Amino acid sequence: MKHAFFLAPAGTGAGLTTVSLSLVNALDRRGVRVAFFKPISQLTDSVFGLELERSTHFIRATTTLKPADPIPVATATKLISEGRLDELLGQVLAAFHHSTASADVVVIEGLRFARGDSRLGSLNQEIVKSLNAEVILVASRADKSVDQLDEQIEYSAKIFGGIHKLLGVIVNHYPISEDVTIASPAERVRSESQLFRRGTVPLIGAVPQNNNLTYPRTLDIQRHLKAEVLHAGEMELRRIKKKHLMSRTVPNILHTLVPGAILITAADRNDIIVAAALATLSHVPIAGVILTGDIPLDERIVEFCRPALETGLPLLRVRTNSYNTATQLFQLSSAVAADDLERTRAAVEHVAQNLDVEQLSSQSKKGARIQALSSRIYVSTDRKGSRGKKANRPAGRL
Could you read off the pLDDT of 323-379 as tens digits, one per residue? 999 999 999 988 888 899 999 999 999 999 999 988 777 655 554 444 444 445 665
Per-residue pLDDT at 346: 96
Q: What percent of the chain has pLDDT over 90?
A: 72
Q: Which homologous superfamily does the CATH classification assign to the domain defined by 218-329?
A: HprK N-terminal domain-like (3.40.1390.20)
Distance CA 325, CA 267 (A): 13
Per-residue pLDDT at 118: 64
Per-residue pLDDT at 179: 60
The string of DSSP letters for 72-107 reads EHHHHHHHHHTT-HHHHHHHHHHHHHHH-TT-SEEE
Query: pLDDT confidence of 383, banded at 50, 70, 90?
Result: very low
- 190-207 mean pLDDT: 92
Q: Is the pLDDT of residue 82 over 60?
A: yes
Query: pLDDT confidence of 1, banded at 50, 70, 90?
Result: low
Give the chain's mean pLDDT: 87
Q: Is the pLDDT of residue 397 over 60?
A: no
Per-residue pLDDT at 200: 87
Per-residue pLDDT at 232: 97
pTM equals 0.84
25 phi and psi angles, rounded to 5 deg: -60, -45
Query: pLDDT confidence of 80, banded at 50, 70, 90?
Result: very high
Per-residue pLDDT at 359: 76
Per-residue pLDDT at 95: 96
Cα–Cα–Cα angle for 231, 236, 242, rounded to 5 degrees: 90
The string of DSSP letters for 208-232 reads EP-GGGSPPBHHHHHHHHT-EEEE-
Q: Which homologous superfamily does the CATH classification assign to the domain defined by 3-213+336-390?
A: P-loop containing nucleotide triphosphate hydrolases (3.40.50.300)
Task: Kindly list the distances between the CA atom of residue 114 and the CA atoms of 12, 117, 120, 122, 128, in Å, as whole numbers in the listed order.
Answer: 9, 6, 7, 12, 18
Per-residue pLDDT at 199: 87
Interval 226-260: pLDDT, tens: 999 999 999 999 999 999 999 999 999 999 999 99
The string of DSSP letters for 264-331 reads EEETT-HHHHHHHHHHHHTT----EEEEESSSPP-HHHHHHTHHHHTTT--EEE-SS-HHHHHHHHTT
Name residues whose C-beta falls within 8 Å of residue 155's C-beta, 6 or more positions apart in sequence.
10
Task: Kindly list the distances between the CA atom of residue 165 and the CA atoms of 124, 137, 360, in Å, as whole numbers in the listed order.
Answer: 14, 11, 14
Q: Is the pLDDT of residue 394 over 80?
A: no
Are the C-beta atoms of residues 339 and 47 closer than 8 Å to each other?
yes
Per-residue pLDDT at 114: 64
Per-residue pLDDT at 67: 94
Per-residue pLDDT at 12: 86
* Segments of the chain assigned to CATH 3.40.50.300: 3-213+336-390
Interval 107-142: pLDDT, tens: 999 998 766 566 677 899 999 999 999 999 999 999
Strand partners, 107: 5, 36
Q: Of residues 13 and 228, which shows the higher confidence score?
A: 228
Distance CA 28, CA 336 (A): 23
Distance CA 85, CA 108 (A): 19
**Cα R_g (the chain), whole angstroms:** 24
* Segments of the chain assigned to CATH 3.40.1390.20: 218-329
Q: Is the pLDDT of residue 40 over 80?
A: yes
Interval 264-299: pLDDT, tens: 999 999 999 999 999 999 999 999 999 999 999 999
Q: Is the pLDDT of residue 90 over 60?
A: yes
Q: Is the pLDDT of residue 205 over 80?
A: yes
